Amino acid sequence: MTNASNDNHLFRPNSYIGRTVPRPNAKRLLNGRGNYTDDTKLPRMVHVAFLRSPYAHARINKIDKNQAIKAPGVVAVVDGHDIAEVCAPWVGVLAHLEGMKSAEQHALAIEKASWEGEPVVAIVASTRALAEDALELIKVEWDILPVVTDMEAALGEDAEIIHESLGDNLAWRRTMDAGDVGASFDHAAHIIEERYISNRHTGVCPESRSIVADFNSADDQMTIYQSTQAPHMMQSLFAKHIGLDTHKVRVICNDVGGAYGIKVHAYPDEFATVALSYMLGRPVKFVADRRESFLSDIHARDHRIDTRVAVTANGEITAFEIDDWTGVGPYSAYPRTSAMEALQVLNFTGGQYRNRNYKGRATVVYQNKTPMSQYRAVGHPIVTMITEGMVDDAARAIGMDPLEIRRRNLIADDAYPTTSASGLPFEKLSHQASLDKLEKMINYAELRKDQAAARERGVYRGIGIATFIEMTNPGVASYGVGGAPITAQDGATVRLDANGNTTVAIGVTEQGQGSETIVAQCVASALGITLDSIKVITGDTDVTPYGGGTWGSRGAGIAGEAAVQAGKALRENILEVAAIMLQTDADSLDICENNVINHRDGEVRMPLSEIGRICYFRPDTLPPDFQAELVATRHYVPRQYPFAFTNGVQGCYIEVDIETGLIAFKKYCVVEDCGRVINPQLVDEQIRGGVVQGIGGALFEECRYNDRGELLNGTMSNYLLPTMTDVPDIEVAHIETPTSESELGAKGAGEAGTGAAAAAIMNAINDALSPLGGKVTQQPFTPERILSAIGKI
């Protein structure tokens, strides 16, 4: 692949690349004309509600469905045995996570339920309300079993074993040992040990998980409307487990109201909905309510990490060591597993630093809580919290400024290509430039003065810095090699119509972040047309090229490149026709603003509508041996690097009220480098939205369980999300280091905000508390934890 060259259309003056343009779909959504899965209403459609286990671990002795089946409007009452006849179970492991084990999971629990909220019985009725009425008539006889809640106790001698077939509660364990950690600790001036805790939270989607399955037995066709991030993956999975050929399953994903990784998994209740439609031969709708979302959506980030860092007297970090524990619920999620967070913690910790000595262990255990798996910025918030926590620990131990210690230890901008101690390949990053930019942006020197003056008045303010790396543009190494039906490539089909307008069908999906806008910008720029002449189609497995969907910060970098290449290919096809019609050389022509022009002087030769008219209505006027092709498809997958790392740094200035433990943000800045910026506003929105989700995890969000494994705060009034009044203005700046693997040069930006926010906030709190001798290391950093760190309560 070549990088930007002079005749590259992507980067000529009127290109859309690098420009903020409005989202074509914003008006529709703001007018209330969005089309979400729940807006799908089909003839003969029925609704399903699920009886979910009220216990975290209990044997199902008997299910009495007699009353429920007679209730008004009820169509079917189905239990785990019934559904198992049409929907095969699954096991959430991947081949490349060696040694990983998990138990068979069914769409509805059979024999026993293993978390509070696991679906046990499905009630199908003419309305959801009637299904819920009937649900109250089902009687289940339970035998309550001992529960496993604490992740470390899960491997204890006397721990209840959740799945006997597995022998113990260990899901997976991996270790890493690079360089010579032992020697580094032996010679270190200071060794700092700390335990960091990241508590469980979840991604709360404004639109809850929703699916309508419509099986037509006359042609054996299953049509599924689903709020999902990965239509083709879901197509494969539904086909496999219901026993249909893939081409008999069509997944349609219309508007999605937020997904954040929550909608990239296969859920038992969604499998059950599809199976019910297959059994009943009619459309079945399932829309999760808020309570069941809290109980059944993927949770994430429940980790305890013991860390050790070695530093020399002059501030050189010479070793990192971590021991990471995580409890992931009773089953590994399907098909991505529940081990990726731990894997990323193990692989990415310390990755922005030069240090070559790194030792780590990750332990993933089963427990009786809601399953955990990938949520926006998978593992990164933990990685960044512990890495940047350790670096601040080291700085404090030797009395060095936090910016200074980072400057000394970050991988230098001229050192690329290189690798991390754990072996991650880095093509090109910009840690030093980003740090310099942040220092100016946040006005670091002034803040230090303000902080000192405030302390004089008994006001405690702190600066927190967190550099980070972010994994984007994942290639086949993430899932494909492990055997999951998850494609890393994406495809785009671009078609010129008879009026000279263009339709683009692409494998990524739109979930509110503007993917369709980015794709339109890429095609418009590559092809030479205006944005208003493009329509982008996403989210339909019958229509779009095969693609991975939207996750792993891959939309712009991978689908964007496929769109560029498809646009270029169509341009060549069009210019070939134009050259024939104009009796000139294709090389002498170009396309600009929907016209074929002279390459040399820009003179307009013919509108694209004329190309469309001739090719479709008067092909007889073209030479007999020439066939025009006004459709082009291109696919793209990164091959050289397993993923494109990006980098950046977040900085914040906060004030801690030492009486209440509450935090006020005074400044929040982010510098990030996602390579080529296609649409600055959309990138900034991604960063800001990501930071807000990071603030949620840092200060508010926590799935709290009691020791019976019951979720204590599964409502929006008790599970605290940050609201507009809780978040600061977030200033965003960019460094652009394009990847040379693609022509577009874009890397991902979707997760950078989330990945480093908690670390920046933790470091700021600890900087503020340092004169009081207190320190917080457990997320969320609640008033309670802050006050007890400084001995106020």
Partner 1 sequence: MKPAPFDYVKPASLEEALELRRRHGAESAILAGGQSLVPDFNQRLRSTETVIDINGLSALSSIEESQDMISLGAISRYREIETSALVAEHAPLLKMAIPEIGSPAIRNRGTIGGSVSMADPGAELPACLCALGANFELARAGSKRMIAAQNFFTGRYETALDNDEILTRIDVPKNRVGFRSAFHEIARRKTGYAMCGVAAHGKVTHQSVQNLKMVFFGTDDTPMLAVNTISVIEGCAINDVPPAELDAALSEDLHPSDDTHGSAKLRMHYAKVLTRRVLAQFVSAHGEE
Using CA atoms, how far residue 198 sits from 324, 381, 688, 708, in Å, is: 11, 9, 21, 21
Q: Is residue 291 within the footprint of partner 1 (CB under 8 A)?
A: yes
Q: Is residue 21 within the footprint of partner 1 (CB under 8 A)?
A: no
Cβ closer to partner 1: 293 or 646? 293
Residue position matching structure tokens 């495809």 = 491
Nearest distance in Å: CB 722, partner 1: 8
Cβ closer to partner 1: 132 or 731? 132
Sign of the dihedral defined by the CA atoms of residues 411, 412, 418, 424, in that order: positive
Cβ closer to partner 1: 14 or 127? 127
Q: Is residue 664 within the footprint of partner 1 (CB under 8 A)?
A: no
Cβ closer to partner 1: 572 or 784? 784
Give the separation between CA 555 and CA 475, rounded to whole angstroms: 12
| CA end-to-end distance (rounded Å), the chain | 61
Q: Is residue 792 within the footprint of partner 1 (CB under 8 A)?
A: yes
Q: Are 108 and 122 in contact (CB under 8 A)?
A: yes
Cβ closer to partner 1: 578 or 656? 656
Q: Is residue 104 within the footprint of partner 1 (CB under 8 A)?
A: no
Nearest distance in Å: CB 121, partner 1: 16
The phi and psi torsions of 756 (rounded to 5 degrees) equal -115, 0
Give the separation between CA 744 and CA 557, rounded to whole angstroms: 8
Give the separation between CA 727 and CA 629, rounded to whole angstroms: 52
SS3 for 274-338, per residue?
HHHHHHHCCCEEEECCHHHHHHHCCEECCEEEEEEEEECCCCCEEEEEEEEEEECCCCCCECCCC
Nearest distance in Å: CB 138, partner 1: 14
Other C-beta atoms lying within 10 Å of the C-beta of residue 141:
11
Q: By CB under 8 A, what part of segment 597-636 binds partner 1? A: none
Give the separation between CA 104 and CA 92, rounded to whole angstroms: 8
Q: Is residue 139 within the footprint of partner 1 (CB under 8 A)?
A: no
Q: By CB under 8 A, what part of segment 766-785 binds partner 1? A: 782-784
Q: Is residue 324 within the footprint of partner 1 (CB under 8 A)?
A: no
Query: What residues does 697 pair with on adjacent strands?
Result: none
Long-range contacts of 156-165 (CB under 8 A, 24+ apart): 160/57, 162/57, 162/103, 162/114, 162/330, 162/366, 162/367, 162/368, 163/103, 163/114, 163/330, 163/366, 165/103
Helix (H) or strand (E) run with residue 404 in it: helix 402-409
Give the separation between CA 59 and CA 141, rounded to whole angstroms: 8
Give the separation between CA 787 and CA 644, rounded to whole angstroms: 41
The length of the chain in residues reads 793
Cβ closer to partner 1: 552 or 780? 780
Instruction: Find the binder of partner 1 among 42, 398, 424, 720 (CB under 8 A).
Output: 720
Sign of the dihedral defined by the CA atoms of residues 579, 580, 584, 586, in that order: positive
Q: Are 232 and 282 in contact (CB under 8 A)?
A: no
Give the separation between CA 196 and CA 308, rounded to whole angstroms: 11
Q: Is residue 38 within the footprint of partner 1 (CB under 8 A)?
A: no
Nearest distance in Å: CB 731, partner 1: 22
The phi and psi torsions of 488 (rounded to 5 degrees) equal -90, -20
Instruction: Find the binder of partner 1 among 1, 84, 662, 772 (CB under 8 A).
Output: 662
Structure tokens at 406: 């980072």
Q: Are 332 and 223 in contact (CB under 8 A)?
A: no
Q: Are 521 and 562 in contact (CB under 8 A)?
A: no
Pick the stretch among 131-139, 272-280, 348-356, 687-695 that binds partner 1 (CB under 8 A): 131-139
Instruction: Find the binder of partner 1 among 330, 722, 748, 750 (CB under 8 A).
Output: 722
Q: Is residue 128 within the footprint of partner 1 (CB under 8 A)?
A: yes
Instruction: Find the binder of partner 1 among 29, 45, 132, 778 (CB under 8 A).
Output: 132
Instruction: Find the binder of partner 1 among 281, 412, 723, 771 (CB under 8 A).
Output: 723
Instruction: Find the binder of partner 1 among 443, 713, 740, 778 (CB under 8 A).
Output: 713
Cβ closer to partner 1: 499 or 718? 718
Instruction: Find the binder of partner 1 among 14, 499, 621, 718 (CB under 8 A).
Output: 718
Nearest distance in Å: CB 647, partner 1: 32
Cβ closer to partner 1: 383 or 691? 691
Nearest distance in Å: CB 302, partner 1: 16
Q: Is residue 490 within the footprint of partner 1 (CB under 8 A)?
A: no
Q: Is residue 666 within the footprint of partner 1 (CB under 8 A)?
A: no
Instruction: Find the binder of partner 1 among 39, 193, 289, 404 (CB under 8 A).
Output: 289
Pick the stretch among 100-108, 122-130, 500-508, 675-683 that binds partner 1 (CB under 8 A): 122-130
Instruction: Find the binder of partner 1 among 26, 95, 129, 452 (CB under 8 A).
Output: 129
Task: Reduce the DSSP state of residue 117 to 3 states and report it.
Answer: coil
Q: Is residue 70 within the footprint of partner 1 (CB under 8 A)?
A: no
Nearest distance in Å: CB 704, partner 1: 5
Other C-beta atoms lying within 10 Å of the C-beta of residue 546:
14
Q: Is residue 725 within the footprint of partner 1 (CB under 8 A)?
A: yes
Give the separation between CA 728 and CA 691, rounded to whole angstroms: 10
Q: Is residue 514 within the footprint of partner 1 (CB under 8 A)?
A: no
Instruction: Find the binder of partner 1 among 185, 700, 736, 772 (CB under 8 A).
Output: 700
Pick the stretch among 128-136, 150-158, 362-370, 421-429 that binds partner 1 (CB under 8 A): 128-136
Q: Is residue 728 within the footprint of partner 1 (CB under 8 A)?
A: no
Q: Is residue 133 within the footprint of partner 1 (CB under 8 A)?
A: yes
Binding site for partner 1 (CB under 8 A): 127-129, 132-133, 136, 289, 291, 659-660, 662, 700, 704, 712-713, 715, 717-718, 720, 722-723, 725-726, 782-784, 787, 792-793
